[in-house]
Structure 1
Amino acid sequence: MKGSYSHFVRVRGVLRHARVYPGPSGPDPLIVLPGLGCASWMYRRLARQLAQERTVWVYDHPGMGLSQGRPHVPRGIEDLTDHLAEWMNVRGMRGLPMLGHSLGGEVAIDLAARFPHLPSALILCAPTGIPENPSVVAQLARLMLDLPRERLGLLPFALSSYVRTGPLRMLRLAQNQSVHATGPLIGLVKCPALVIDGTADPVIRAWTLDLMCEQLPDGRALELPGGTHALMDSRPAEIAAATSELLRLEVGSRK
């Protein structure tokens, strides 16, 4: 397997970044969407597992990771989705599977509902805010409960990501979760979707997975015993295996 590398492209004058993990040619590449305040470097363990079967692009949202941001951009989740759609169109990426973690899961749902030609399948890992939208205080309290359960090696990468994003941008996006109408969008998703969470994740309630799958036209749930909120780091092999299975089924249904 070739080593990963950074890819930069300007979209509307703003430099966008993605970390690319080359994989075997043939299968469609997969795009990973990080969570709130997270950066591409936090997903290297998962990306390396996924890249055993296909090329992986770990995207940095505007103002996060190595992507440029502006003082008041993004204003909310719809901004993140619009920027992602622009980036995909500039890159000529259409009809590709998307893996969204935490807030990235909300962006993936939003993208599938508003730009249905862009994703071919969704893998939603510990998606936040759907269908419940807890207060910012409640979200922070749940994250504090989760922190001691995560792998110690992830913490320096997470801290550098949060510092890069900045508290004001993170607060603005967290507050937007309470007004962003993601719930009604779930039923508009036409592509297959897999919702994954861990039993040790205090951020997501167990009933959320079942309710989401009821609302998704083609949704299924997977619960990983002992999995934490940062599933992409604590259970990368299992996430990659579940992703591969879903995408094999999705490809088979096209034939």
Structure 2
Amino acid sequence: MKIDLTGKTALVTGSTLGIGYAIAKGLAEAGAEVVINGRKQDAVDKALERLKREVSDARLRGVATDVGTAEGCEALIKAVPQVDILINNVGIYGPQDFFDTPDDVWQRFFDVNVMSGVRLSRAYADEMAKRGWGRIVFISSESALNIPADMIHYGLTKTSNLSISRGLAKRLAGTGVTVNAVLPGPTLSEGMTDMLKDEVEKTGKALEDCAAAFVMEHRPSSIIQRAASIEEVANMVVYVSSKQASATSGAALRVDGGVVDTIA
């Protein structure tokens, strides 16, 4: 299968590092013009420079704005008024006990993880429908189904991603625009690398081995028994963004390594 996204414009929120960057790279390799987004200009510039080195013929733009706010979304929409592929990837996470999580933290998680995708989808989906083609992908998490006891506020936002993607897919039925959610599990991104740095130094083991041990301790239901790479997650997103995925809409597509113990 050859995925060709030549002539398509793709926007990936939160794409200066990690899964978002890998998605942007995969889309660029498939020929799409890619818009990199992050909160800080220097981070956006560094991501653009890196991606130009790694994909020499990439067509790229960058917009620095905080899509966790209504004003930030408006600025992004003004800078990029039309896209064919929208990847709602931006997200924040962090453990905090339910009884110690104040209202402002709940609100911030909701604004970044949920409302960014709502606002951008609302802005871009109608024009996609008028053109008869478009792809919207929400990056959810296995935590949408396995709600973490120490991150209930995070789990809520990721479950919300599933509700919105399914409902919006139904709202756009028959238009040629597909809407899906992708659910990564434990993934060897910069966040996990930083978290395991001390363990790697202490044990002398390879990062991948420490990550696998972490997965088996905290997600023992994992079938692949290791962390996924950011590229493995990106591969699913690139596929579901493609012309070949035209019959996939309203789906929750798990790249969780089998962590969620269900056959549905």
**TM-score > 0.5 by shorter chain:** no
Higher-Rg structure is 2
Q: Which TM-score tier does this pair reach, normalised by the shorter chain?
A: 0.3 to 0.5
Give the structure with the larger helix fraction: 2
Give the structure with the larger strand fraction: 1
